[in-house]
Amino acid sequence: MMGSFIAELYSEIDKLRAQLLHNVELMSDRQWMIEEISDREILTRIENVILGIVTSLSKDEAPVLALPNRSSWANISFDSAVGLQMSSGSSVTTIRSDCSSSITKFAQILKILAAIYRLVQSNSYSTKRDIYYNNPQLFVSQRTVDSIVDDISCMLKVPRRSLHVGKGMPDVNSRLMVRKLWDTLHIPIFALVDADPHGMEIMCVYKYGSVAMSFEAHSLTVPSVMWLGLLPSDLQRLRVPEDALIPLTKRDQSKLNSLLERPYLSSQSDWQKEMELMQQSKVKAEIQSLDAIAPDFLTSIYLPNKLRYGGWV
């Protein structure tokens, strides 16, 4: 009996794989091509930035760095086959070396550029945390380093993984692995996350990408990702005990409102309905909340039934 059940489960997954492969055939090869950049090319691009600074100084001019504006949704377009991607004509932010409001960031960018140059040149690797602790007085916070590494990646038009620097949330290596699984094996990709705005945000980044990394969408996003659980509707359907549910905080509500405004939700009505349901119920839950129903409910009942009967959105 167990063998029959497993065979049926694999049959359903095979049907889903065939459907997803059909969708992929509708996309051009260009959309799924990952561009690799050599270390020599990365070093050349950094050297060109430094050359521009030296040239400005030789002319007795204040050096200026131009960074693509990664924080504006106006610079982002949405393609259902790729996800969020930066528009080719995106606006830029100038970082001047002679302006009191930007001179510190100018110095921070140069410091991190120098660190990246050494890492690429020596074929070694470092985390963003390591870079921060090399000069905490200059960077002030870890968030500063995180943001500037992405700025540099975008400015150089180089995938962040090629800069020989570290992890985010979700980290680039994990996103690359999921993308590789899809590209190579064409297996269905399901997301199992907490039923809270933070879990939804992580899932959306895997599927559609993020504003900050939109310039690298072609190599990181997996638009075939499906939301297996934990769904807000599951909490009601399964009658998860109230003491296992957590009220949404103001920060949760703000994050949820932000998600509902994302351009990709217009093409994902089922996800939108689930998020609106959470907005109405004003509660969230961790995956572990299913333990309140039964200790093995997740592995013995919830996941097998979801996969067997198609309980994903």
String of b and e for 146-179 (b: at least 16 CB within 10 Å)? bbbbbbbbbbbebbbbbbbbbebebebeebeebb
Query: β-pairing, 226-229 with 190-192?
Result: parallel
The helix/strand/coil state of 239 is coil
Residue 300: phi and psi, rounded to 5, are: -90, -25
Task: Work out the end-to-end distance of the chain between its first and last CA atoms, rounded to an integer number of angstroms.
Answer: 28
206 as an active site residue: the answer is no
Number of Cβ within a 10 Å radius of residue 38? 10
Residue of 117, 125, 132, 133 marked catalytic: 133
CA distances to 52, 60, 79 from 55, in Å: 5, 9, 40
Tell me how far apart the alpha carbons of residues 219 and 301 are, in angstroms, rounded to a whole number.
35
Catalytic residue numbers read: 133
